[in-house]
Amino acid sequence: MNQSARIGLLACCVVMATASTFGQQQQPAPPPVQPAPPAAVADSNPVPLEWTPPALTTLMAQAVVKNSFTLDRNLIHAAAQMYTDSDAGVNQAINKVDGVSVHTLRFGPNGVPDEAAVSAIRDAYHLRGWKHVITTTSAGGPVHNDHTDVWMVLDGMNVRGAVILAETPRSVTLVTVAGNLSPVDILHLRGHFGIPKFDDGGLQVQK
């Protein structure tokens, strides 16, 4: 093969190699592999013990004495061992409780300073869509007047807890109870773990 032929063959190889490389570069890069989104974790406890209506903060700022505490399931069952109750219904109700949050506010001789704030607390639970089941009002003089509201927290058809708002002339108590409870369980828990005693308001429950 003469010199001219060799030069022509070499040039042809260079052109073919360049065309091959150019064709490879024009191919679109495969899309990056996206990691699968984490699986949604179901909320096993739709009752937020730590949440309170903003209006409660307003009242706390004006309270002479204020006490707040939260008991989880372990603390509740440990406390339950410290006393015995002859009422089997109380013991059964305690076994269904997952947690209790209590806020108690006490005011001076002029009483609750902001009724609008108390009304805002009631409205907050209505807006959350929780079922209002009890309203009781007792009028026995300036010391015995009180007003109690109870809401049931529903998860579909299941009762997952309750909220109790009890107001007297000089105090406001807000309690949130979480657990797989029935209305009758809430009534059995009155007077325990900071839950105020209140009338059942004619609530009809199936035992």
Q: How much is the pTM?
A: 0.71
SS3 of residue 171 by DSSP: strand
131, 103, 136: which is closest to 117 by C-alpha?
103
Paired strand residues for 159: 154
pLDDT for 192: 87
Whether residue 14 lies inside any domain: the answer is no
How many domains does the chain contain in total?
Answer: 1
Domain region containing 170: 54-188
Q: Is residue 139 in a domain?
A: yes
**Res. 203: pLDDT tops 60:** no
**Is residue 24 domain-resident?**
no
Q: What is the mean pLDDT of residues 134-149?
A: 68
Whether 12 maps to a domain, the answer reads no
Residue 161 belongs to some domain of the structure: yes
63 domain-assigned: yes
**Confidence bin at 28 (pLDDT 50/70/90):** low
pLDDT in tens, 48-92: 888 999 999 999 999 999 999 999 999 988 877 776 656 678 888
Query: What span, in angstroms and rounded, lies between the C-alpha atoms of 71 and 90?
Result: 17
Question: pLDDT confidence of 46, banded at 50, 70, 90?
Answer: low
Bridge partner residues of 175 (DSSP): 102, 164
Tell me if 182 is assigned to some domain: yes
Q: Which has the closest alpha carbon to 61: 121, 114, 116, 14? A: 114
Q: pLDDT exceeding 90 applies to what percent of the chain?
A: 38
Amino acid at site 114: D
Q: Bridge partners of 103?
A: 68, 174
Looking at the domain assignment, is residue 133 inside a domain? yes
Amino acid code (one letter) for 99 = G
Letter for the amino acid at 136?
Answer: T
**In the structure, what pLDDT confidence band is assigned to residue 29 with cuts at 50, 70 and 90?**
low
The answer, yes or no, to whether residue 178 has pLDDT greater than 50, is yes
